[in-house]
Structure 1
């Protein structure tokens, strides 16, 4: 088992507690019990494991979106987050290799003439996507002809879509399918428009972040190889995602 030196550890978690930002905008990674507010999911299991390895208590702070999670990193109030790898975010965040890969998909109304992902990027189409999500960042770079309509969060995409905004909804395949159960006459376009690599991120503003990233990268490699990540996915009944290679 690899270790982290005391100087890097002090920079990594300067308060003596590992403060972890949990993004609730992606149900594949984490969820909150509505009654008890207890957090559970793959990312919580990994955070607890890292806390054990560095012998620090873990403080979990939930956020509704990836964007607000990352904002907390920039203020210095969070030591570690679980977010999608994205070059825009990479300006401030140092990433480990991915631990999970998730599919991004499109959903349309049953009456829509659209049948394939390739038909979406056409002038006149409007894609509803969660503001600041990995899907928003990706589509902002890749979409050339269609328009993007940004919902307040990934969870709000389907409601915005069904209220009359746009003619395509974009996001985590499982999130869209789950939210769509409240409505009728919706269908997913087959396949995916992107694969999202989920990783651990730490702020580049901290000293020795390269050493800390290397340590966490080794931890992630061990957790993937040992079956820890796969077991956590099974335990939390995660479907539509796979352990990253």
Structure 2
């Protein structure tokens, strides 16, 4: 009789758990369709992986949300959010005053300064003076484009825009441009590849500019979606407090990506 009761209880528990999953709020999570390792990229089977996918899975589990990865071209990802094609953005998007005019953000979930990399054969650093006569590649519609136009272009740098970071990196390898600017972690990942090691070197982080770069990376949300924002903020706080954030981060980084 006891065995029957335990079995019945287990069955009921499974039914309740299944019902909870079925009733979870479905959320379409926009990620950039262009690969951006180590944060987001599809594997050979088309399944998305990377640090931000692990982050997304952790906060969605904590907030009891049924999250569906939805790739969107980077330059159309904010319009996709504001027109309800997606419900939030997890795509290394910096919290900036300009973006806050259109969308809202969660609390930050990581923060790193942009990096300049360039040809090993050229001696220069990440200052506007040193880049004055160089051609600098940046991805369009990013804080890196905005930063380059504010700090480097007025000093004589030619800023060349690309749809994807891979295109900028490929032109750097081919010698068509002198340098690229992007998130430090993404560029360090590139420098660790055989191609990156052969062609290029770290020229240094850019100088801080909170007006352009913002205080860090946040989850992009529609203005007025306070219920989802509260859930995401609570989840970020919870996974940092219980060690989940630190645990999955160890797979990718040997330092605290959360930053100052």
With the length of structure 2 as denominator, give the TM-score of the two structures.
0.73
CA distance in 1: counterparts of 2:64 and 2:172, whole angstroms = 46
Indicate the residue corresponding to 1:166 in structure 2: 177
CA distance in 1: counterparts of 2:185 and 2:240, whole angstroms = 22
**Kept in 2: contact 1:110–1:185 (CA 8 A):** yes
Instruction: Give yes or no for the alignment of 1:117 onto 2:126.
Output: yes
Instruction: Give yes or no for the alignment of 1:103 onto 2:117.
Output: no
* Cα RMSD for the two superposed structures: 2.8
SS of residue matched to 2:45:
coil
Indicate the residue corresponding to 1:220 in structure 2: 236
1:241–1:124 distance in 2 versus 1, CA, 3 Å: farther
Structure with the higher fraction of residues in helix conformation:
2
Instruction: Give yes or no for the alignment of 1:188 onto 2:186.
Output: no
CA distance in 1: counterparts of 2:232 and 2:147, whole angstroms = 25
SS of residue matched to 2:111:
strand
**Kept in 2: contact 1:101–1:241 (CA 8 A):** no
CA distance in 2: counterparts of 1:25 and 1:137, whole angstroms = 21
Give the superposition deviation at 1:239.
5.3
SS of residue matched to 1:84:
coil
**Kept in 2: contact 1:22–1:30 (CA 8 A):** yes
CA distance in 2: counterparts of 1:104 and 1:241, whole angstroms = 16
**Kept in 1: contact 2:184–2:205 (CA 8 A):** no
**Kept in 1: contact 2:117–2:204 (CA 8 A):** no
SS of residue matched to 2:28:
strand
1:241–1:173 distance in 2 versus 1, CA, 3 Å: farther
Indicate the residue corresponding to 1:20 in structure 2: 29
Indicate the residue corresponding to 2:86 in structure 1: 78
CA distance in 2: counterparts of 1:140 and 1:28, whole angstroms = 26
Structure 2 stretches of 5 or more lacking a match? 1-23
CA distance in 1: counterparts of 2:129 and 2:77, whole angstroms = 29
- Higher Rg: 2
Matches within 5 A, 1:228-239: 228-235=244-251, 237-238=252-253
Instruction: Give yes or no for the alignment of 1:153 onto 2:164.
Output: yes
Indicate the residue corresponding to 1:8 in structure 2: none
CA distance in 1: counterparts of 2:259 and 2:61, whole angstroms = 23
CA distance in 1: counterparts of 2:142 and 2:182, whole angstroms = 8
Indicate the residue corresponding to 1:242 in structure 2: 257
**Kept in 2: contact 1:129–1:149 (CA 8 A):** yes
